[in-house]
Chains A and B, each alone.
Chain A
């Protein structure tokens, strides 16, 4: 032998791969077929059993391409052997007949288990688990009891030959079998309802096949119960109908394959502007409307397209596929785990998405940073408001209280003093009262008590009452609004009215507070000289941060000679 590495030929492991069972199944089928012919069994019956057996083994080979469907694959491979084993009843040999009798319904139990644990081998639900247990008890258990009393001379395990008892057991089995068929029908229909779109695509045909087979079984078993007669045509038809189960599995896989687009088509589709968002384009390409795209930011957090943070799901009902460029993860696709059964599709979408997703990721990162800036500005404004409340309360509880006490004391002393001293004391009291008034105005400007206690309308009405010109207030605000919005709206009105008083030469003004389903609109109008604009020194400009933190927009309409209209719109859900 020449030098060099010895390469082991790939070996097929019969424990992992049912492909080796194919010749065995063909041989077993042929043997059973020969047995049937030899024993003069009806050709239709032999054909039905062979067709169903080989369809099942064929489906088990097609399922090979789905790694997650391993258990289903083994059930698909085992069922034909159970079915052909049951046909040993055709033999004249006592041992083969007895074995065939014991195996009679096992294949049906295998099919029930296959269907209600499809595709991953775990029962869908507790009722599904009950159905599997019931199927085995009914078939294996029923035959074990039946073999003790079967009125057939080939029965090696017969204890007593009792046709009436055997008939009763048959009828009980048929009745329980009909109930099981109803249960499986219900489970299949329910399963169709709860599956996501990708899973429905892959498993739908199987579920339809299951429902049809359960219905055919019901007809057959109903006939058996009702007439006590076995009609070969019905029995053969039921077996032929059961072929819809393996055929359904193959159709499901074929259907998923058919809609697998080429990479070039994917590039076009993912770059298409027809569908608005990358999420929608990917969802369409993968046929999974529940798909989400999580963009990975440089510091490892994930955000959606709008820059909102999202967590990758941990639960088993969602799957995550990473999208990477040059080894660096740039996004994650969160999708229906059924898509894992189409690894080639997911891989081609993943590879294509990597080419086109980078821009989206950068945009999401910018949006995320903007959201952070906005949130941070909101926090700064909120902290400022809290500080304003604290200062207002300190002024009220401290300096204002002391001045008030001083003022009352001065008044008291003035009443007791002689005229000259009383005059001095009265003037002192006036000064103190003026200081109290100024302090009160200052406190109101810092944080108005009435706004905190009674809300926007009352506080704005108080502003209007204190204004030195007539101000009408109309409000459709019912109840309270978020603190920050109330405070910002109040300051807008306060600053706008201050401007009216200082600059507009107006004879009257009006304030309109309009609550709409998703907004609050605050409008301050005067009949003054107009020509106003927002300069960097104006009080309204000072509210910019506060308004932007709330996504509010402020506009001013002030044509010379036509008065001024200051309008602010706050986004404000109900």
Chain B
């Protein structure tokens, strides 16, 4: 899995959480450009993608990955899905997890 979030401490915790659940974390990215480069380089099966990134928003990245038949995308945000309305459903992501509810079980529920 690839973890995309501009907040380094969060990436570290997320990596630990995923790895302890048996996922292989292929890399981390702090913005959309790094994320797309890492997807091209490491071909992860899934991407844990923060909605709010410094260069582009996560919806745009998810849409681009979906159009290229790329990895499965799980969106995360410290906001609620409700704060984003229809954009969550429209961007081609597999699902949305509020960051505070992020757990191995929540990820597994979406990916399996």
Q: Is A400 an interface residue (CB 8 A)?
A: yes
**CB-contact partner of B78 in A404, A454, A458, under 8 A:** A404
Partner of A408, one of B17, B52, B80, B87: B17
Nearest B residue to A433 via CB reads B100
Q: Which of B55-112 contact A (CB under 8 A)?
A: 78-80, 82-87, 99-104
Q: Tell yes or no: A444 within 8 A of B by CB.
A: yes
Tell me whether B79 and A449 are in contact (CB under 8 A): yes
Interface 0/1 of A394-429, CB less than 8 Å to B? 001100111111011101100110000000000000
A contact residues, range? 20 to 34
Also in contact, A462 and B20, with CB within 8 A (given A404-B78, A433-B100): no
B9 cross-chain contacts in A, Cβ below 8 A: 402, 405
Q: Which of B7, B78, B83 makes the CB contact (< 8 A) with A462?
A: B83
Instruction: Give A397 to B103 CA distance when docked, in angstroms.
Output: 21
Q: Name the CB-closest residue of A to B76.
A: A404
Chain B interface, >50% SS class: helix
A154 at the interface (CB under 8 A from B): no
Is A440 part of the binding interface, using a Cβ–Cβ cutoff of 8 Å? yes
Instruction: Check: A453 CB closer than 8 A to any chain B CB.
Output: yes
The closest CB in chain A to the CB of B9 belongs to A405
The docked-state distance in angstroms from the alpha carbon of A239 to that of B17 is 108
Judge whether A449 and B83 touch: CB under 8 Å.
yes
Return the CB mask of A440-460 against B: 1 if under 8 Å, else 0: 100010001110011000110
Taking the closest CB of chain B, its distance from the CB of A464, in whole angstroms, is 11
Count of CB-CB pairs between chains A and B under 8 Å: 74
A450-B83 in contact (CB<8A) = yes
Q: Which residue of B lies closest to A400 (CB)?
A: B78
Point out the residues of chain B lying under 8 angstroms from A408, CB to CB: 10, 13-14, 17, 99-100, 102-103
B85 and A453: CB pair below 8 A? yes
In the bound complex, how far is the Cα of B99 from the Cα of A409, in angstroms?
A: 11
**Chain A residues near B52 (CB, 8 Å)?**
396-397
Chain B CB within 8 A of A436 CB: yes
Counting chain A CB atoms within 10 Å of each CB, the highest count among B10, B85, B86, B100 belongs to: B100
Bound: A401/B76 CA distance, A: 12
User: Smallest distance from the beta carbon of A141 to chain B beta carbons, Å?
Assistant: 76
Report B33 CB to chain A, min CB distance, Å: 19
Q: Give, as a whole number of angstroms, the nearest-CB distance from B11 to chain A.
A: 9
For B101, list chain A residues within 8 Å (CB): 433
Is A62 located at the chain interface by the 8 A CB criterion?
no
A38 to nearest B CB, angstroms?
Answer: 102
Would you call B14 and A436 a contact (CB within 8 A)?
A: no
Q: Which residues of A contact B103 (CB under 8 A)?
A: 408, 411
- The reply to whether the CB of A432 lies closer than 8 angstroms to some CB of chain B is yes
A466 within 8 A of B: yes
Tell me which of B82, B84, B99, B104 contacts A404 (CB under 8 A). Answer: B99
A403 CA to B13 CA in the complex, in Å?
Answer: 12
Question: Which B residues lie within 8 Å of A466 (CB)?
Answer: 82
Query: Is A465 on the interface with B (CB-CB < 8 A)?
Result: yes
Per-position 1/0 for B1-18, Cβ under 8 A of A: 000000101100110110
Q: Which residues of A contact B84 (CB under 8 A)?
A: 449-450, 453-454
CA distance A454 to B79 in the complex (A): 15
Name the distance in Å between B46's Cβ and chain A's nearest Cβ: 18
Task: Give the distance in Å from the alpha carbon of A242 to the alpha carbon of B3 in the complex.
Answer: 94
What is the bound-complex CA distance between A433 and B103, given in angstroms?
Answer: 13
Residue among B16, B79, B104 making CB contact with A440, cutoff 8 Å? B79
Q: How far is the CA of A405 from the CA of B10 in the complex (A)?
A: 5
* Contact yes or no, B7 A454, CB < 8 A: no
**A367 to B14 Cα, complex, angstroms:** 61
Contact partner of A450 (CB less than 8 A), chosen from B10, B78, B82, B100, is B82
Q: How far is the CA of A37 from the CA of B20 in the complex (A)?
A: 130
Given contacts A405-B10, A407-B100, contact A412 B17 (CB under 8 A): yes
The interface residues of chain A lying within 8 Å CB-to-CB of B86 are: 454, 458
Given contacts A396-B78, A449-B83, contact A416 B20 (CB under 8 A): yes
Q: Which of B13, B16, B78, B101 has the most CB of A within 10 A?
A: B78
A-B contact pairs, 17 of them (CB 8 A): A396-B79, A400-B78, A404-B100, A407-B99, A408-B10, A436-B78, A444-B83, A450-B82, A453-B84, A454-B85, A454-B86, A454-B87, A458-B86, A461-B85, A462-B83, A465-B82, A466-B82
> Given known contacts A408-B10, A440-B80, what 10 new A-B pairs fall within 8 Å (CB)?
A397-B52, A405-B13, A408-B14, A416-B20, A433-B100, A440-B79, A449-B79, A454-B85, A454-B87, A459-B85
Give the top 8 A-B pairs by smallest Cβ distance, nearest first: A404-B99, A458-B85, A405-B10, A407-B100, A404-B78, A400-B78, A409-B13, A449-B83
